[in-house]
Amino acid sequence: MPTSPAAPVDLRALGRTGLAVSPITLGASGLGRDVPAGDPAEPEAVSLAAAMLHGPYAIVDTSNVYAGGHSERILGLALAETGAAPGRQVVTKVDADPETGAFDRDRVLRSFEESLSRLGVDRVSLLHLHDPYGIDFEDAMGTGGAVSGLLELRESGAVDAIGIAAGKVSVVSRYVESDCFDVLLTHNRYTLLERRALVLLEAAKARGMGVFNAAPFGGALLARGSASGATYAYRSAPAQVLERVRQLEQICARHGVELPTAALQFSLRSPWVDSTVVGISRPERIADLEFRRQVVVSEELWAEIDALGPPPEAVAD
């Protein structure tokens, strides 16, 4: 069984939920991708999942749809083999039916049951509504809509809290303003390169919601740098975005800080973010994140970045 710290590091409250999170949450969106049951690569994937469940952070984040359901399945195998270290848990998301696109109350309940079955657990503390782009907000909020299914699960005690997890600010803002949700998870829109989601974070905090900020590296660009050819938010980065990354690299170099460290700590230091979600694909990445979390970054570096002015919009909404 993997060695674990006695308790998750630096626990703090997740808004009004009563749940506790670490400053970093491990994302499992790629876990089990192209690894069907019985595949030779399955033991390695299970080993990664076990490392996540016994690492320094309180939460592992997955979804019904991640890796076609294999993310949850692999996590379930790891939970069966090694359990989770004290204070660690998996949270997941309900998703539209992958074949029909249905995303109503009945689909929410089915998605939840599918997730519990794959994970091999009786309940999860937090359940998100994930990427409700294929349904109208009015339908989602109406009788028999997706949100009614989530409310039903919370009211019955099947989950402790419900969240809205998606990227598009124009979509997510209406769910935040509905006051139905306990938690917000946004991604790719509050980074060194993009501040579009700030209005969302402020609105969520004003309501006492917990806030996860995912993809602090924009997927890859802020982890690999301007010369890497890496994408931002799954798309090629335009010239003005690459120029801003080069400016950020120069500032970081002057202060002896690596760009990925600054990108991670930008989210960690935000008063509007409770936990930053970072996807990992290998166990050693966990130690790397913990190292970067503890690097001391001077206020002068942040002042220089602020002096650059508002960043160019790096992602379409």
DSSP codes, 209-250? -EEEEE-TTTBTHHHH-TTTT--BTTBPPPHHHHHHHHHHHH
Neighbours of 213 (CB within 10 A): 28
For domain 12-224+260-296, the CATH class is alpha beta
Please tell me the total number of residues recorded for the chain in this structure. 317
- Given a cut of 60, is residue 2 above it in pLDDT? no
Q: For 30-73, how does the pLDDT look when each residue is reduced to its tens digit (9 = 90+)?
A: 999 999 999 999 999 999 999 999 999 999 999 999 999 999 99
**CA torsion through residues 248, 60, 21, 169, sign:** positive
Q: Which residues contact 136 (CB under 8 A, 6 or more apart)?
A: none
Can you give the pLDDT at residue 196? 94
The predicted pLDDT at position 3 comes to 60
Mean pLDDT (the chain) is 96
> Domain extents for the chain?
12-224+260-296
Average confidence (pLDDT) over 180-196: 96
Best CA proximity match to 211, nearest among 152, 125, 277, 147: 277
Q: Is the pTM of this model over 0.75?
A: yes
**Confidence check: pLDDT of 317 > 80:** no
Fill in the amino acid letter for 41.
Answer: A
CA dihedral 239, 216, 91, 125 (to 10 degrees): -130
pLDDT at residue 4 in the model: 61
| Gyration radius of the chain over CA positions | 19
Mean pLDDT on 14-30: 97
Confidence label for 316 from pLDDT (cuts 50, 70 and 90): confident
Side-chain-side CA neighbours of residue 189 (13 Å):
22
- Give the β-pairing of 183-187 and 161-165: parallel
Contact call for residues 66 and 29 (beta carbons, < 8 A): yes
Q: 70-88 pLDDT, tens per residue?
A: 999 999 999 999 999 999 9
Q: How confident is the model at residue 289 (pLDDT cuts 50, 70, 90)?
A: very high
